Structure 1
Amino acid sequence: MDDVTEPAPRSRRKRMTGKERREQLLTIGRTLFAERGLDGTSVEEIASAAGVSKPVVYEHFGGKEGLYAVVVDREFERLLSLVAEALNSAIHYRSKLEKAALGLLEYIEESPDGFRILVRDSHGGTGTGSYASLLSEIAGEVEHILAQEFKRHGYDDKAAPMYAQSLVGMVALTGQWWLDVRKPGREEVAAHIVNLAWNGLSGLEPRPYLDPKRRRKELERMEKQREKAQAKAEKAEAKAGRAEEKAAAKAEKAQRKARRDDDDTEDGPSDLDPADLDATDRDATDLDAADLDAAEHETGEPAEPESGDESETETVRDPAEAATR
């Protein structure tokens, strides 16, 4: 009798708990919804990707709409908590803006599928869980901050909701654009957002207007201020240039003096000043003449000098003696 080969036992997969199955369906649904949207995704595709039958999907969520709603709510709460934490953790208003922008971009970078679901086709209009309601929630947080800042600077705090919507809309649209391009980097994008938003908020006019005449006068006033500031800067620059030239001339003068001092040191110092030498010669001449006069007075004969040339000695001898010689 031939040996009969028995079939190998089937490998049994570990049966998931209800919680684990629910999380699996949420993860799969999140990926499919991000790729195809709600309308482009079917229950059959979700069940097939999870390796279960359609009734399992209905059992947990009642259909793809229920699954989609849970996915949207999760992403909604996650992003809202990130932005709210950023707005409430910083003290300075610029830091609040920086952290909020970075929080949004970080979420987009780490959860692109979640953000794509939120911005593309989240259903429900302005109801809870929609992207519009998410932005409205964030704008409410920003509105509260702006209202306090407006009061502190004497602006009309009734305009805070409008500015909050504008600010949040700008950041959100920038995030949607960056979701696909991903260039430049996260921190650089955040820096540009803050640059525009913060400088815009810092330069708010207490009572903005669109009247052409008033606007023209305002522009003329601003132009005069700019020209005045430019003239002041040019004057300061010219003054600095003159000071630099003066310092250079002073340094050159000091160098010339130092070179002259060095030359005098190499030649050696003179013991007597030329004026002192002239005075000494005059004193010696006067002294010799006085001595000769005194000797002649005592002897009655012309006095001979103690030293000198032979010709000078002969001039004082007797003329007869000179003739005899």
Structure 2
Amino acid sequence: MSEDQSLAVDESAFTDLAEKHRRELQVHCYRMLGSIEDSEDLVQETFLRAWKKRDTFQGRSTFRAWLYRIATNACLDFLSANPRRPAPRRIGGTSRLDLPDEIPWLQPIPGHLLEPLTEGSAEPDAVVVAKETIELAFIAAIQYLPPKQRSVLLLRDVLGYPAKETSEILGTSVISVNSALQRARATLKQRLPPRRAEWQAGEDPSAAERRLVKRYIDVMERGDLSTVAAAMAELMSEDIRVSMPPIPLFYADRREFYLGVSGYLDPASPLYAGQWRSVPTRANLQPAVAHYVRPPGAAAFEAQVLDVLRVEDGVIVEITAFDPALFPRFGLPTVLREEA
């Protein structure tokens, strides 16, 4: 049965056809919106619009391209109704222009949603997700682009649509598309991390990266203040940056991070959280660690924070920490019990 014939049959058959593209459409919506929660809602909105507009599919493009058109415009409608821009970071009620802006809606995307779409594992006709276009730093950088520029950049540079087809999707001219793309590229170059201004194809996590994550976990689980500072010096760059959207917490270097964390590890501190357990995972094709804490006197370890790590030259250069409410999306339990 051809795609255009499939659209004429019942809703169940249509849903089966659309579901084949759910994950890649969610990745597209996630890039557009920067939020895994919003991306899930917009994929559902895309499918609803596609079903209602199924009679408009003429077969001049592929069914996938038709869905991308609907998804892109659904995201643009969402952003028009819910405008949002990164804002100066506020610490103690005061704006800090010397620190990176806040992007409170930024969320990570679970690795299991990306694995079927990575090089070597994707279906023959699927859009492959390249590491350099899904890392948190890239997702954060494109949030600075106006929605139309963002959509042009993603359609042209990430998905590879030609200018003419992009103009048809967005209902604008080729000249407008090319102009928007030029402006988007210039902004993106300014916003990407200094050593990653020109993105290159990423690779699967190496054995060295996995060892780095294991050592990071060991430091947190051991919680020995006499060794934490030295261990951090080996694992992290001196100018490491640590943030936790949407909370305005920010550490600008390794010393600040150590001072901020040490109280939670020191049993003599009023901030002491308890004993830590950590589980490695993946987010945005980056290493990530899910931390759990067992408060003094408690029987189980409770979900505490999800750290997404950016690694360069063998050290951690950035940690973006997220609320434990995201654990279930990563297939992680919210409670760990001590093994017998």
What TM-score do you get using the length of structure 2 for normalisation?
Answer: 0.22
What TM-score do you get using the length of structure 1 for normalisation?
Answer: 0.23
Q: Which has the higher contact order (CA 8 A, sep 6+)?
A: 2
